Amino acid sequence: MAEIRIDKYLSVALSVSRTDAKALLKSGKITADGKVVLRPETKISETATVKYGGQELAYKKYIYILMNKPEGILSASTDKRVKTVVDILPENLKRTGLFPVGRLDKNTTGLLIITDDGDFGHKVTSPKSLIKKQYLAGLDGKVKEEFVEIFKNGITLADGEECMPADLEILENNHAVVTICEGKYHQIKRMFGVVGLGVNTLKRLSIGKLTLPPTLREGECIELSLNEIQQIFE
């Protein structure tokens, strides 16, 4: 059975710092399986019944959050100058160690996953996983039929970097849906740049089979279940 330090348990369950967790332990109001715990280094089972002042706490080893990222927000955990996606999370979902899985440019919107599970984050972003990511792009000119084949064959970017084959679906009014399975820096903007188009708007629609809920407004979040997380890898 996996064990965890009681101060880390409290930090996660109560969304407090380790320092605050130690202060709570000193109060004598923390019990684990009916026994008062005072020392922060005490290890308990992750399935232990922990109470604070008689109220049972809920512990989740990891949390997975789906955000409809708004424009102008940085995909980062912290930044001294501008707001990040972690900054705008609702208080009930905040905890230490959260980070965005991959990056969306500051002005790109749409599906973004935020978690504290490092192994999961690496698996999703690794090019070896070949997880498809779908984007809706608004362009500054007409998307020609010949571009579909160019994207399908794998574009060579202006600096010589090669992209894996991508799917391009042409929509009306200078819009297109692009599906890629990697995440190079500004990749979609650079891909369209090769065919002479600028990207005015960009929105991520899906990662794997996990799609952005149509009713989730920009800036809103939902917590994902393990079954929903599994859709990414299906």
Could you read off the pLDDT of 81-113 as tens digits, one per residue? 999 999 999 988 888 889 999 889 999 999 999
Q: In this structure, are 137 and 203 located in the same domain? A: yes
Q: What would the mean pLDDT of 154-173 be, rounded to a whole number?
A: 95
Number of domains in the chain: 3
Cβ atoms within 10 Å of 182's Cβ, excluding its own: 17
Q: What percent of the chain has pLDDT over 90?
A: 82
The crossing angle, in degrees rounded to 10, of helices 18-26 and 6-14 is 110
What DSSP string runs through 61-97? S--EEEEEEPTT-BSSS--SSS-BTTTTS-GGG--TT
Which are the catalytic amino acids? Answer: 105
pLDDT at 190: 96
CATH number, residue 196: 3.30.70.1560
Residue-number span of the structural domain to which 108 is assigned: 64-127+213-233
Higher pLDDT, 114 or 183: 114
Q: In this structure, are 45 and 143 located in the same domain? A: no
Q: What is the mean pLDDT of the chain?
A: 93
Q: In this structure, are 92 and 110 located in the same domain? A: yes
pLDDT at 222: 97
pLDDT at 96: 81
Q: In this structure, are 106 and 219 located in the same domain? A: yes
Q: In this structure, are 119 and 137 located in the same domain? A: no
Q: In this structure, are 155 and 220 located in the same domain? A: no
Q: In this structure, are 218 and 203 located in the same domain? A: no
pLDDT at 1: 60
Q: Is the pLDDT of residue 45 over 80?
A: yes
Q: Is the pLDDT of residue 231 over 90?
A: yes
Contact status, residue 138 vs residue 200, Cβ threshold 8 Å: yes
Q: What would the mean pLDDT of 21-40 be, rounded to a whole number?
A: 93
Q: Is the pLDDT of residue 50 over 70?
A: yes
Cβ atoms within 10 Å of 109's Cβ, excluding its own: 21
CATH number, residue 49: 3.10.290.10
pLDDT band at 59 (very low <50, low <70, confident <90, very high): confident
Q: In this structure, are 218 and 169 located in the same domain? A: no
CA torsion sign for 182, 183, 185, 190 is: positive
Could you read off the pLDDT of 8-24 as tens digits, one per residue? 899 888 878 889 999 99
Q: In this structure, are 103 and 138 located in the same domain? A: no
Distance CA 62, CA 212 (A): 21
Q: In this structure, are 89 and 200 located in the same domain? A: no
| Whole-Å CA distances, 41 to 21, 23, 215, 217 | 11, 13, 44, 42
The token pair at 16 is 């407090």
Q: In this structure, are 197 and 176 located in the same domain? A: yes
Tokens 């109560």: give the residue.
Answer: 14
Could you read off the pLDDT of 111-159 as tens digits, one per residue? 999 999 999 999 999 888 899 999 999 999 999 999 999 999 999 999 9
Q: In this structure, are 136 and 122 located in the same domain? A: no
